[in-house]
């Protein structure tokens, strides 16, 4: 059976699913139930769900990145894969024969594969073209923002999506540098950021480009906008007693999830019951094994009507 796939060499490079045990516990999957992993990635969470749903259960795995879906090692007749964005969650589910489901997972982090192997400029530690798209069919990429957007718009996304304190200085420097030549690569952008900010800002533990790269990625992929569209659809797709689990990796995402859960739970006719009074964070052992998990927060809710 597929759990043994973890022994394969290829899976040693697989993205480690964050808060795996906690997510599976809150989903509370049982034999014969149907689930949606709306951010399938390399299938780490889905693989765990498959272990619990028995031969009659099924999972719909959705991901924006067709490359990840085409190269997944998770193969199972109970698993249906669909390329698309979870802003279209309901229509994708219905088109694949999934009606009401027992649980929906949203892991909002991006795969280690995107950083280390995609070649799309997600990492400031690799010299790659400025792209940052999950779905390469989309028109907007990081190059267009850096080279074509007005400095004021770049400042806005660095401030709003990256919470970058030096957003104005970085955007002004980008606008100045691109007058001489287009900014093509991640390393070119990192150098510009380094010249724009104070020296002490470059000597901290956190790389001075971290927040700029986060902001560009969020803007390119419309991450916050899509999340806001997806959450109501997810609740609508849940059967009574069904559960939604969302794992976020920065305060902007977590704030959207928190506010949505509170709003839906406090309606005159509440749709959900919040299962996590406070967000669940990874323990020390998980962070030691996977440092990228340190900023993760999990929230869960159950549909009640």
Helix/strand/coil for 44: helix
Parallel, antiparallel, or unpaired: how do β-strands 238-248 and 101-107 relate?
parallel
pLDDT of 12? 42
Q: Which residues have CB under 8 Å from 71's CB, separation 6+?
A: none
> Distances from the Cα of 229 to the Cαs of 39, 193, 274, in angstroms?
14, 33, 19
pLDDT exceeds 50 at position 125: yes
Helix/strand/coil for 16: coil
pLDDT exceeds 80 at position 2: no
Q: What is the pLDDT of residues 249-275, one digit of tens each?
A: 999 999 999 999 999 999 999 999 999
Q: What's the chain's average pLDDT?
A: 93
Q: What is the pLDDT of residues 146-192, one digit of tens each?
A: 999 999 999 999 999 999 999 999 999 999 999 999 999 999 999 99
- Measured distance CA(266)–CA(173) in Å, rounded: 46
pLDDT exceeds 60 at position 119: yes
Looking at residues 117-131, what average pLDDT do you find? 96
Answering whether pTM is above 0.95, one says: no
Looking at residues 21-50, what average pLDDT do you find? 96
- The domains located in the chain, with CATH, are 2-113+224-303 (3.40.50.150), 117-221 (1.10.150.170)
Q: Which residues have CB under 8 Å from 191's CB, separation 6+?
A: none
Looking at residues 243-248, what average pLDDT do you find? 98
Looking at residues 7-29, what average pLDDT do you find? 75
Cβ atoms 93, 237 nearer than 8 A: yes
Give the rounded percent of residues in the chain with a pLDDT score beyond 70.
95
List, as one string, the DSSP characters of 96-151: TT--SEEEEEEE-S--HHHHHTS-SS--TTS--BS---SSTTSS--HHHHHHHS-H
Q: Which residues have CB under 8 Å from 286's CB, separation 6+?
A: 18, 19, 293
Cβ atoms 193, 209 nearer than 8 A: yes
Looking at residues 52-73, what average pLDDT do you find? 95
pLDDT of 73? 87
pLDDT exceeds 60 at position 27: yes
pLDDT exceeds 50 at position 218: yes
pLDDT exceeds 70 at position 4: no
Looking at residues 38-63, what average pLDDT do you find? 96
**What is the token pair recorded at 303?**
């549909």
> Distances from the Cα of 100 to the Cαs of 1, 45, 60, 233, 303, in angstroms?
27, 20, 12, 11, 11
Neighbours of 52 (CB within 10 A): 15
């Amino acid at each position: 059976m597929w759990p043994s796939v973890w022994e394969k060499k290829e899976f040693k490079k697989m993205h480690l699913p964050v808060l795996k045990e906690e997510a599976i516990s809150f989903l509370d999957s049982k034999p014969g139930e149907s689930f949606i992993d709306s951010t399938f990635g390399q299938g780490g969470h889905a693989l765990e769900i498959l272990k619990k749903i028995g031969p009659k259960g099924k999972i719909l795995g959705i991901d924006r990145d067709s490359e990840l879906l085409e190269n997944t090692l998770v193969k199972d007749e109970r698993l249906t894969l669909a390329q698309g964005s979870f802003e279209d969650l309901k229509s994708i589910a219905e088109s694949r024969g999934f009606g009401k489901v027992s649980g929906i997972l949203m892991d909002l982090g991006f795969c280690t594969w995107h950083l280390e192997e995609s070649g799309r400029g997600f990492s400031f530690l690799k010299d790659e073209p400025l792209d940052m798209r999950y779905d390469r069919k989309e028109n907007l990429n990081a190059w267009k923002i850096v080279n074509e957007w007005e400095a004021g718009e770049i400042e806005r996304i660095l401030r709003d999506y990256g919470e970058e304190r030096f957003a104005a200085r970085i955007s002004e420097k980008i606008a100045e540098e691109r007058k001489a030549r287009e900014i093509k690569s991640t390393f070119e952008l990192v150098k510009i950021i380094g010249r724009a900010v104070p020296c002490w800002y470059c000597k901290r533990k956190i790389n001075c480009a971290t927040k700029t790269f986060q902001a560009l990625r969020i803007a390119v992929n419309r991450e916050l906008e899509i999340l806001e569209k997806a959450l109501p659809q997810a609740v609508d797709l849940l059967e009574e007693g069904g559960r939604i689990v969302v794992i976020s990796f920065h305060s902007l995402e977590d704030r959207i999830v928190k506010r949505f859960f509170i709003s839906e739970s406090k309606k005159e006719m509440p749709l959900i019951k919040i299962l996590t009074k406070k967000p669940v964070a990874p323990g020390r052992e998980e962070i030691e094994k996977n440092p990228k998990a340190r900023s993760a927060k999990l929230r869960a809710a159950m549909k009640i009507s």
